[in-house]
Amino acid sequence: MPPEAPKPCGMRKGMDQMTTKWVYKFGGGDADGGTGDKNLLGGKGANLAEMAGIGLPVPPGFTITTEMCTRFYELGEDFPDDLDAQVQAGMQHIEKITGRRFGDTAAPLLVSVRSGARASMPGMMDTVLNLGLNDDTVAGLAAESGDERFAWDSYRRFIQMYSDVVLGLDHYLFEDAMEIAKEDKGVYLDTELEADDLKALVAVYKEKVEEELGRPFPQDPKDQLWGGIRAVFSSWNTERAKVYRRLNNIPHDWGTAVNVQAMVFGNMGDTSATGVAFTRDPSTGENRYYGEFLINAQGEDVVAGIRTPQYLTKAGKDAAGADKPAMEEAMPEVYAQLADTFALLEKHYRDMQDIEFTVQEGTLWLLQTRNGKRTAPAALKIAVDMAAEGLITEEEAVCRVDPQALDQLLHPTLDPDAKRDVIATGLPASPGAASGIIAFTADEAERRASLGEDVLLVRVETSPEDIHGMHAAKGILTARGGMTSHAAVVARGMGRPCVSGAGSLSIDRQTKEMTVGGRTFKEGDRLTIDGGTGEVMAGEVATVQPVLAGDFGTLMDWADKKRRMRVRTNAETPAECHTAREFGAEGIGLCRTEHMFFEADRITAVREMILSEDESDRRKALAKLLPSQRSDFEEIFRVMAGLPVTVRLLDPPLHEFMPQSDADFDEVARASGFSVERLKRRASELHEFNPMLGHRGCRLGITYPEIYEMQARAIFEAALTVAEENDGDGDTVLPEIMVPLVMTAGELSTIRALVERTADAVFQERGRRIAYLVGTMIELPRAALKAHEIAAHAEFFSFGTNDLTQTTLGISRDDAGRFLGDYVDKGLLARDPFVSIDEGGVGELVALAAERGRSTAPEIKLGICGEHGGDPDSVAFCEKTGLAYVSCSPYRVPIARLAAAQAALRSSD
Amino acid sequence: MPPEAPKPCGMRKGMDQMTTKWVYKFGGGDADGGTGDKNLLGGKGANLAEMAGIGLPVPPGFTITTEMCTRFYELGEDFPDDLDAQVQAGMQHIEKITGRRFGDTAAPLLVSVRSGARASMPGMMDTVLNLGLNDDTVAGLAAESGDERFAWDSYRRFIQMYSDVVLGLDHYLFEDAMEIAKEDKGVYLDTELEADDLKALVAVYKEKVEEELGRPFPQDPKDQLWGGIRAVFSSWNTERAKVYRRLNNIPHDWGTAVNVQAMVFGNMGDTSATGVAFTRDPSTGENRYYGEFLINAQGEDVVAGIRTPQYLTKAGKDAAGADKPAMEEAMPEVYAQLADTFALLEKHYRDMQDIEFTVQEGTLWLLQTRNGKRTAPAALKIAVDMAAEGLITEEEAVCRVDPQALDQLLHPTLDPDAKRDVIATGLPASPGAASGIIAFTADEAERRASLGEDVLLVRVETSPEDIHGMHAAKGILTARGGMTSHAAVVARGMGRPCVSGAGSLSIDRQTKEMTVGGRTFKEGDRLTIDGGTGEVMAGEVATVQPVLAGDFGTLMDWADKKRRMRVRTNAETPAECHTAREFGAEGIGLCRTEHMFFEADRITAVREMILSEDESDRRKALAKLLPSQRSDFEEIFRVMAGLPVTVRLLDPPLHEFMPQSDADFDEVARASGFSVERLKRRASELHEFNPMLGHRGCRLGITYPEIYEMQARAIFEAALTVAEENDGDGDTVLPEIMVPLVMTAGELSTIRALVERTADAVFQERGRRIAYLVGTMIELPRAALKAHEIAAHAEFFSFGTNDLTQTTLGISRDDAGRFLGDYVDKGLLARDPFVSIDEGGVGELVALAAERGRSTAPEIKLGICGEHGGDPDSVAFCEKTGLAYVSCSPYRVPIARLAAAQAALRSSD
């Protein structure tokens, strides 16, 4: 046990009498665990063990399990008694392999202490390097390495990092001291400081620590070790880590592992280096090594984006027009060894790898490998290429691409022909184009975005504290940092376009101005970035639709072969229908008819209808609406020829069509001829306390059957017209009439009878019949419970999971903002139930309704048309429940197709 | 088949090839059916068969079943082929027993055609008497009876009634002709017209029919018969019948039977008579015959209230101070036979009977018997008396009283000491006192009542068309009609006080004035009636609380012995708690705490709390609320000493506490010191689109734990104070803390931990502990589905069926007015789901939550605290579901006690 952790409550600790294996060792050609132990050892620990197991050069170390993290929090941030001995054994394992001893003044062992959760959380948690250095061992390190400067530089780095991470001191304290030291000496680079300078700097650092804390910097390596372990476990619950988990749907109870590993040094002179590499290009997916390294540096120097790194390959260097030699040129032997390792790891893991390495005096060490994060285009290309290379199967390729990530590919890119006022160029850090107004802080970005504005976050460089602003922004622009800087990595993960390292930008946070090439831009000015080229442009640049061919087409073809469920779209304009068909929609699952009522030429007739005193006046007003409603449907049926079109009859309460403000009332009074008084009286009669639970859906059709009658007539007349047009080409018109908000079987049978009467009348008038279906939305708990009765009158059910979520959970979507985030943060809800279906509550009702509906009508067609239809997790639920189709907004159709394929493949496992 | 019914669609009719028994015969000492066949034969038909079967004098006849009614509507208001032969056989049965023939000119058989549903619907459906008379048979009737006047009077009555009921002609046509005939002759009473006058009148009647219809009055008795049968079946679906069924919860699909029966005549001179009788007083329940009769009259004359009838018994006559002899005096022999029959029928049916009889030339005939409708006090007295007499058991007595009807007994009566400005006295037709403003039409009564005014419906006499106005009114006052007039019967059924036949009132519908004793009252003036004394008073008279002893106490004692469920109350003021205890409440099931926040001295602190910028300001404002909240609880705990008190933590969204109008804002700004701008900004921040589904319930406790902490502290501090006071008398304080609107187990465990921490703190401060429970409301569908998880943290569930109904059905109670009535009328909902629990939907969730909750916590206490807790049908559902208690408003506690007893008795059957 660390001595600074008191044990006030022996009883509690005493409960851990049966020894649990908390510590897993690796290194020296062997390991206790491997890739399969990711849940227990975290991603980093499991992969270090795996690499050690297959004989790759991994510095020896051990992993403290994620279970320890859980236990740590159960004990009120404390450790059980039996951990101490296991950690000691782990240290002995490292000492044995390295031949060094922890705290030894002759051959001191230094270790790193790093976090490693099941899922990667880059930059979110803490790391301490060079642990084990003190006033005694630094001398040993100097003597042994023969490099006094190296030893003192390591020590000063260690003090700075340990003070920041473990002791909670501000890193500016040390940076300031460093700046002063450099100024005093009149040098510019850290590397220009000599051993004695650094030695003096260490003294200053230690003084500052004692000043701040009132006690000296810890000299006992064991104290240092326990402090580091504690800090890493504690960093699991920092605010920024919690936000990251929420944004990435990582459960709070997973916990992190802690990896303690022998240090290797990339900063032991010019035969030493440190770098990061991807086995393929994580931005485009091209099959070429992609990476950066720094000679004579530690790993954090690369990631921090402070020194501009060199390229790994000559091709990469040449393409970028960089000056400094590539690693392929500077260290050809080690590079060759590295390239062999890349091939081995890709084959072993059957996926693109993201690797951290260090070269210590010409010897290669691997510090980490993991499946590399990649952009959506890269994911697509890598999956398709690897299947073509025979490395993975088509099924695996389909499962390799995160459907959610396709979103990036489906949105417009900059029009290549549009005029561009390029003001700067940076690194193409995350693809895609984004326009928005400038925000210089994450808070400002979040605030402006919450007002509905498109925002670009513009920063010198980003840090984990900026995560909420990056999420809120449409794109990120930084003045410093490379392709693997924080901004670049996080932006790629979030699917936000990013241009990093645009060095010509001068950003002044104080005055909130950015100057470049003599031009000044203020907060609120508009910029456009192209994350594919690195260009930064003034103003907004026109965009074009993406071309969905090549790898995308190949993968979607594979996906379509594997999926069972159909994918439809929620669309109500011809333009949306076109887009959806291009994205592969196999019909319309939800065509809302109310939006058609809002158009300027119709709203007057709608209001006349609402103001009617009796049915006959209402019918007159509806007669005016019929032609436009009919022509809406004609257009839709034309675009969707040959595919089913589910039309939902009028759903919202009538007051939604009434004017809102006094000015609106005046205008409507002038336009309609109704007095303001009459309009206001009617609006007040129609006012509802809870419109969501009000006089809407089929309740309107029960009270005012003539409204639904007009809509049914418009549908059938339009269908017959388009059917006649289609007679030549054999495409059929397949209308499916959907009745909303049903709670009893009687409602549906009543409306169904009305629809059938209307159809018969139209068919008789036109002398031609067409096939059509009548069905209902299941969007109230009672409808789900009564599905067996309702199914007797329905040819299909479409689960309206938006409203079903609102009623089942008793949460108004419009009002949930004030507490829903809090609920997810506090773990009271696993996810936002409006984004991903609440399987335990809403999901049970859906499954029950499906079962009961089928008990009456075994052939009933079941689908979903809530927003959940485009959410991969919800699509997986639909597959499990055996639904026939999902329906989602046009841009999510490819996402749903891929998610449906993955769900089908996984369910057949 | 009737010749006027064409058969366009032979196929449809051909489906009835298997012969169904549509016709059941009775009379001549035997019958096909009996009381047990009420569903098939209707109440009247089943009882006629029963009486015939036990040898009572019933004119022979037959019943066409209620199944025929269903079939009739299935066939689009037409009859199946096989009915004709069965009706013919029925007519032959009557002919055989009476020795008369239908359409015979020498001894013509005349029949009545009457409706008869399962449940009595007095005055709601059609009847035709004297059917079979035509120009030929009228002569035979005259010759045979030796009474030409009687024959022609019967014929003219028949034409009038048949024209009204079957041919759809306006009865004023005939009444006008009758008035002219009387004026021409210079007489006042119908009975003063002689045979020739009536003969001439018949000719006029027939002319009028032919004028109106373009075809002569039907002369073929078979046409008449089928017309009558059709009219009765059709009358099942008149608007007034539908309204009655809705008000009385009679399903629309029950249908009516049709009874065809040989006519007997009470209008064959002074040895003939017709009357109605109750075997006990239906108003008070006293064990004495109660009835009225008219010499030389047909039955409709009594019910219509046109002639003032004579009393049955001498005692009755004397008590009323009437002039004309009682039947006991006028017809002593028949009276004696009638009295024997009363005794026989009461013993046979084991209940008070409502009997219609006719005396034809000294011979008694029974036309109907049924369990008599009665007032609530009468029901109580009859049940208790009959049990004392040994006629029924205590269990039966408990089941005999409609719990709903107790409502009449539980409300105030006129203060006997108050000054009464009596302006008139009529008959005490239905007990209870009512004050209200005058409405002279049913529509006006309904309109004013819908504005929230108390209304008295004041009419010369009422008719079935007035039913909606009677329902809307607090009481009914008529100038004409007896104790069995339409007004009296319907008012007693509805539990509305009624004074009928207040002959001194002169009512002018045109000028909307009522004059009496020289004083004039206009529409909108206020009157009071006392249905127990018949007094009509100007203005409003003070009332007193009812005394709940005597029969009421006896019956409630019996009920309490039989019931399994506990009955609690929903109450939050000490006064309400007092009332509820007096009515037998066994604890508080729902004490809402928000009402305490609205009081003038607190609302400012509440608003301060809402306007606080941070937790520390909120805590300051809450500290101001603590003392008053604590003293509220102290008072309640004192009143409820020894009984459990369930306190619900704050439930409504905070914006409910903000001012609403501009004037309110100004006032609050002055009082609170907050600027109007700040108040408005906060109100607008808090505004919700659907407050029912908003930031309320335990969501407040999650966001602002300090609010619930203050409330928990107030509860525990108050409980300890009252526990100390009670130490002498051994009564304990039993607080049960209820968490509202839970949807996940995590919410409850979070709030539970908060409550427990607070309890521990208070117990430590005060040095004393008390027992308490923590539980939750189940009022969201998700909570019901997750009951097994939630139960792990709850000692009790209380089903909040108001909100559960809102969410399960997706109906906002505040907004349902516009369509819910329509839904019940159209049969889309059997009942208003906020009055009687929707067993199929909400009920399933309750049952499922009970089962799942018990699967985790077998001993969990289950109750209900929605308004449904006081609705007898819902109480029966709770018994079936095995709940431990129901909780309802104080005045409904006795209703719930009785309903719970009945439910227990019925479930043990």
Residue appearing with tokens 């969990």: B860
Q: Which of A686, A690, A813, A829 to mutate to test the interface with B (most CBs of B within 10 A)?
A: A690
Q: What is the pLDDT of residues A22-69, one digit of tens each?
A: 999 999 888 998 888 999 999 999 999 999 999 999 999 999 999 999
Contacts of A562 (CB under 8 A, 6+ apart): A395, A398, A901, A904, A905
What are the backbone angles phi and psi of residue B211, rounded to the nearest 5°? -60, -45
CB contact (8 A) between residue B692 and residue A694? no
Asked whether the predicted pLDDT for residue B4 surpasses 60, the reply is no
Residue B12: pLDDT band (50, 70, 90) is: very low
Whether A865 is a known active-site residue: answer: yes
pLDDT at position B1 = 37
Residues of B whose CB is below 8 A from A694: 812, 815
Q: Please tell me whether A413 is known to bind a ligand.
A: no
Q: Are strands A513-516 and A506-508 parallel, antiparallel or unpaired?
A: antiparallel
Q: Is A803 annotated as a binding residue?
A: yes
Span B4-27, mean pLDDT? 60
pLDDT in the model for residue B8:
36
Q: In what order do the strands lie in the sheet with A61-64?
A: A23-26, A61-64, A256-262, A111-117, A127-131
- The answer to whether the CB atoms of B702 and A806 lie below 8 A apart is no
Per mean pLDDT, which range of A866-875, B215-224, B773-782 is the poorest?
A: A866-875
Confidence check: pLDDT of B901 > 70: yes
pLDDT of B207 strictly over 60: yes
Helix (H, G, I), strand (E, B) or coil at B95: helix
Q: What's chain A's average pLDDT?
A: 89
Q: Which residues in chain B touch residue A688, judged by CB atoms under 8 angstroms apart? A: 812, 814-815
Catalytic member of A498, A577, A865, A878:
A865
Looking at residue B18, what is its pLDDT? Answer: 56
How is residue B800 written in tokens? 């909040």
Q: Give percent above pLDDT 90 in chain A.
A: 61
A690 vs B815: CB contact, 8 Å cut-off? yes
User: Smallest CA–CA separation between A55 and chain B, in Å?
Assistant: 47
Q: Which of B536, B519, B349 is nearest to B436 (CA)?
A: B536
Tell me, what's the pLDDT at A432?
81
pLDDT of residue A746 exceeding 80: yes
pLDDT given for residue A16 in this prediction: 44
**Residue A782 and residue B809: Cβ atoms within 8 Å?**
yes
pLDDT at A121 over 60: yes
State the catalytic residue, choosing from B93, B468, B471, B486. B486
pLDDT at B302: 65
Confidence of residue A561 (pLDDT cuts 50, 70, 90): very high
Q: How far is A746 from chain B, CA to nearest CA, in Å? A: 5
Residue of chain B with shortest Cα separation from A845: B785
* Nearest Cα residue to B459 out of B483, B478, B438: B478
CB A853 within 8 A of CB A847: no
> Pairing between strand A413-414 and A543-544?
antiparallel
| Chain A residues near residue B807 by CB distance under 8 angstroms | 693, 781, 807-808, 810
B780 chain-A contacts, CB cut-off 8 A: 808-810
Q: Are A810 and B807 within 8 A, CB to CB?
A: yes
Range with the poorest average pLDDT among A328-332, A736-740, A808-812, B653-657: B653-657
Both tokens of residue B366?
Answer: 């029974």
With 0-12 / 13-18 / 19 or more C-beta atoms within 10 angstroms meaning exposed / middle / buried, residue A435 is buried
Q: How confident is the model at residue B3 (pLDDT cuts 50, 70, 90)?
A: very low
What pLDDT score does A413 carry? Answer: 78
pLDDT at A84: 95
Among the ranges given (A411-415, A823-827, B183-187), the one the predictor scored with the smallest mean pLDDT: A411-415
Could you tell me which residues of B are annotated as the binding site for Mg(2+)? Answer: 779, 803
Residue of A483 and B700 predicted with greater confidence: B700
- Across the interface, do B782 and A819 touch by the CB < 8 Å criterion? no
Distance to chain B for A682, nearest Cα, Å: 13
Exposure string of B230-242, with b = 16+ CB inside 10 Å and e = fewer, is: bbbbbbbbeebbb
A801 annotated binding-site participant: yes
User: Which residues in chain B are closer than 8 Å to A842, comparing Cβ atoms?
Assistant: 782
CATH of domain B563-907: 3.20.20.60
B756: distance to nearest CA of chain A, Å? 19
Count of CA atoms in the C-beta half-sphere (13 A) of B885: 23
Lowest-pLDDT range, A261-275, A495-509, B705-719, B742-756? A495-509
- With an 8 Å Cβ cutoff, are A693 and B845 in contact? no
Query: What average pLDDT does range B134-150 have in this prediction?
Result: 91
Mean pLDDT of all residues in A653-657: 91
Q: Say how far apart CA B394 and CA B898 lie, in whole Å.
A: 13
Q: Which residues does residue B13 pair with via DSSP β-bridges, in sequence order? A: none
User: Which residues of A fall within a CB distance of 8 Å from B809?
Assistant: 743, 780-782
Please enumerate in sequence order all residues whose Cβ is within 8 A of that of B254, keeping only pairs 6 or more positions apart, or say none. Answer: B39, B66, B117, B118, B119
pLDDT for the residue B10: 34
Instruction: Report d(CA B74, CA A32) in Å as an integer.
Output: 79
Give contacts of A814 with chain B, Cβ < 8 Å. 688-690
Mean pLDDT of A540-563: 87
A371 a known binding residue? no
Give the number of A-B residue pairs with CB atoms closer than 8 Å: 162
Residues of A in contact with B690 (CB under 8 A): 690-693, 806, 812, 814-815
State how far the Cα of B735 lies from the Cα of A500, in Å rounded to an integer.
62
Asked if B822 and A694 come within 8 Å (Cβ–Cβ), the reply is: no
- List, in sequence order, every residue forming a beta bridge with A568; answer none if it has no partner: A887
Q: Give residue-wise pLDDT tens across range A412-426.
A: 678 878 888 999 988
Residue A346 in this model has a pLDDT that exceeds 70: yes
Q: Which residues contact B530 (CB under 8 A, 6 or more apart)?
A: B414, B428, B433, B497, B499, B537
Choose which CATH entry (3.30.300.10, 3.50.30.10, 3.40.50.1820, 3.40.640.10) describes domain A412-544.
3.50.30.10
pTM attached to this predicted model:
0.78
Q: What is the mean pLDDT of residues A730-738?
A: 90
Residue B303 is predicted with a pLDDT of 60
- B23-262 and B273-374 in the same fold: no
A592 marked as binding residue: yes
Per-residue pLDDT, B452: 82
Choose, from B865, B868, B878, B888, the residue flagged as catalytic.
B865
> In this prediction, what percent of chain A has a pLDDT beyond 70?
96
At A18, the pLDDT band (50, 70, 90 cuts) reads low
Of A782, A810, A844, the CB nearest to B743: A810
Helix (H, G, I), strand (E, B) or coil at B5: coil
Provide the shortest C-alpha distance from residue A801 to chain B (in Å): 13
Q: Which residue of B has its CA nearest to A687?
A: B815
pLDDT at A147 over 70: yes
B699, B741, B824, B832, best to mutate vs chain A, most A CBs in 10 Å: B699
Chain B hits for A823, Cβ within 8 Å: 702
Q: In this complex, do B844 and A814 lie within 8 Å of one another by their Cβ atoms?
A: no
Write out the H or E segment, with its range, that includes residue A681.
helix A676-686
- The span from the CA of A6 to the CA of B355, in Å, is 93
- Hey, where are the domains in chain A? 23-262, 273-374, 412-544, 563-907
Residue A486: active-site member: yes
Query: What is the Cα–Cα distance from A556 to A534, expressed in whole angstroms?
Result: 29
A827 neighbourhood in chain B, CB within 8 Å: 746
Higher-confidence position of A544 and B185: B185
Distance separating alpha carbons of residues A263 and A145, to the nearest angstrom: 13
Angle (CA) B421-B427-B433 rounded to 5° is 55
Q: What is the mean pLDDT of chain B?
A: 89
Q: Which residue of B651, B656, B660, B808 is the best one to mutate when testing the A interface, meaning the one whose CB has the most A CBs within 10 A?
A: B808
**pLDDT at residue A192, as a whole number:** 84
The interface predicted TM-score of the complex, written ipTM, equals 0.77
- pLDDT computed for residue B344 by the predictor: 95
The shortest CB-CB distance from B815 to any of A693, A782, A785 is to: A693
Rounded CA separation A625/A707 (Å): 10
CATH of domain A23-262: 3.30.1490.20
Nearest to B568, CA basis, from B864, B777, B774: B864
Q: pLDDT at residue B550 above 90?
A: no
Residue A628's pLDDT is what?
A: 93
DSSP letter for A842, please: I
**Residue B808 to residue A780, Cβ atoms within 8 A:** yes
Q: Is A818 annotated as a binding residue?
A: no
Length of chain A: 909
Q: Domain A273-374: what homologous superfamily?
A: ATP-grasp fold, B domain (3.30.470.20)
Element (H, E) at B822: helix B817-825
Q: Map residue B652 onto helix, strand or coil.
A: coil
Alpha-helix residue ranges (DSSP H) falling in A727-834: 745-766, 781-785, 787-790, 801-809, 817-825
Q: What share of chain B is helix, strand, coil (3-state, %, to 5)?
A: 50, 15, 35
> What integer pLDDT is reported at residue A11 of this predicted model?
36
What is the reported pLDDT for B48? 95
A436, A458 Cβ separation under 8 angstroms: no
B786: nearest CA in chain A? Answer: A841
CB contact under 8 A, A781 and B702: no
Hey, are the CB atoms on B695 and A828 less than 8 Å from each other? no
Distance, in Å, from the CA atom of B255 to the CA atom of B234, rounded to the nearest integer, reads 10
- Chain centre distance of CA B898: 17
A695, A782, A811 ranked by CB distance to B815: nearest: A695
Using the predicted structure, report yes or no on whether residue B758 has a pLDDT greater than 60: yes
